[in-house]
Structure 1
């Protein structure tokens, strides 16, 4: 005589933690590496000062608020609620505002010279 073990129903999965706002969902899970960012040594002092000034008056928009006319420069840690995009008007044909274009699009020779 073989014993029959009754099958128990599966435990329900634990509920996923809710984000602080439906528009601010985690883009990169906590603990994952962030995309490479230019270091202060790779950015000219003028461009760095310009970026800091621009970020003080940035619109601080979410991913869902980005359009083809807004600066898409990410600011902060994507794994936190304190993450946003610049949102200022972007340069024609570029994804960023004037200040962020100055940081993102630098000639290779200028970048190599600063590393020395």
Structure 2
């Protein structure tokens, strides 16, 4: 399990309030494909915010998905 920094989590909580909450059929290469919720329920959606270039996710979700080890250690200090 990836350990997520409090800053990254706070950013994600903020972004999920602003998220477009789009469905699978609305995804394009320009929409964040971060899934939120339980796929078995009605309350399931994808973030849908503009992606960071070359990544499948928006800036906040990239921050959670691709946290380098070294950056994580530095944050503890």
Asked whether the two chains share a fold, i.e. TM above 0.5, the reply is yes
What do you get for the CA RMSD once the two structures are aligned?
1.9
The DSSP-based 3-state class of the residue aligned with 1:90 is: coil
The answer to which structure has the higher helix fraction is 2
Alignment of 1:107 with 2:68, yes or no, is yes
DSSP 3-state at the match of 2:39: coil
In structure 1, runs of 5+ residues without a counterpart are 1-37
Q: 5+ residue gaps in structure 2?
A: none
List structure 1 segments (4+ residues) > 3 angstroms apart after TM superposition: none
Q: 2:28 aligns with which of 67, 80, 87?
A: 67
- TM-score, normalised on structure 2? 0.87
Larger radius of gyration: 1
How many pairs does the alignment contain? 74
